[in-house]
Structure 1
Amino acid sequence: MEEKFSHLDAAGKPSMVDVSAKQVTHRTATAQSVVVLPNVILDQFVNGDFNTKKGSVFQTAVIAGIMGAKKTGELIPLCHPIGMDNCDISIKLNDDNEVVILCTASITAKTGIEMEALVGASVAALTIYDMCKALSHDIVIKETKLISKTGGKRDFART
């Protein structure tokens, strides 16, 4: 079977995927974003977070990521607007002093949730950038990627 882009119709024009014939299943997805901060910002890391005049960087990023995930259908033109059963975001500094953001979203529906997880992780990363840029603009959002998804046509797990 030849794979094809799902958001193009027979004439090659943009089209929303028709999910009316799909089965309702429980679907989950986890996405990751990695943010690299310079030492001038890392030096401000105390008790598992950065605290600024605007508040806790990580806690603000968690809230922003969840809000972003909830608005995915408004941001991605052909993405179905869906509700989420849950959205969980964790943020930590790894052994390489990189900020690792994991966003896990779930839903019981006819269509997937991976875009919501990817948007949630991305918005959390952008929020960290926004809250830390007063100290330095030498911040890199290094990567955003899908880690895993279950419950759709095919499951995926990055190894």
Structure 2
Amino acid sequence: MCEQQRDVFRLSHDKLSVQEVADAVNSASCGAVSMFIGTTREDMVDSKKVVGLEYEAYEPMAQSEFSRLCDDIRARWPNVKHVCIHHRLGWVKVGEASVVMAISSPHRSDGQQAIQQAISQLKASVPIWKKEVYDDQDSSWKENQECCWSSHAVQTKPAV
């Protein structure tokens, strides 16, 4: 009996559960679960300390872009079984997870390569925006370097 592929994408104002994401991709037919956990880090920007991030999203388009992301992953790595991505919205303080993603595959190399591509593609194409909030209550919207429209765009080769 062949197990159906499963894709889960969730935007949430609640704290993210690493275990819930891992459980969503668990499969008896897979020997590897590759994960990425992106946390809000304490940075210094122009002598101001980052105390948290505020996330917003265009949710209908985010769901559409997530489906495209999964299609792209499976086109490159046909052995990928399940994909789960949970992303926070709203306030995320330093040390908390902003994004948790997991991909299951029969062997680790496919999953590890796919997870790297998935986070890069998510940051480049899924309409989720973040605002840094500083210890002086000032704030600044940030653009992802992966976005093609970014003034700081980083040209990266797609993972193979």
Q: Which has the larger radius of gyration?
A: 1
Q: TM-score, normalised by structure 2?
A: 0.41
TM-score with structure 1 length normalisation? 0.41
Structure number having the greater strand percentage:
2
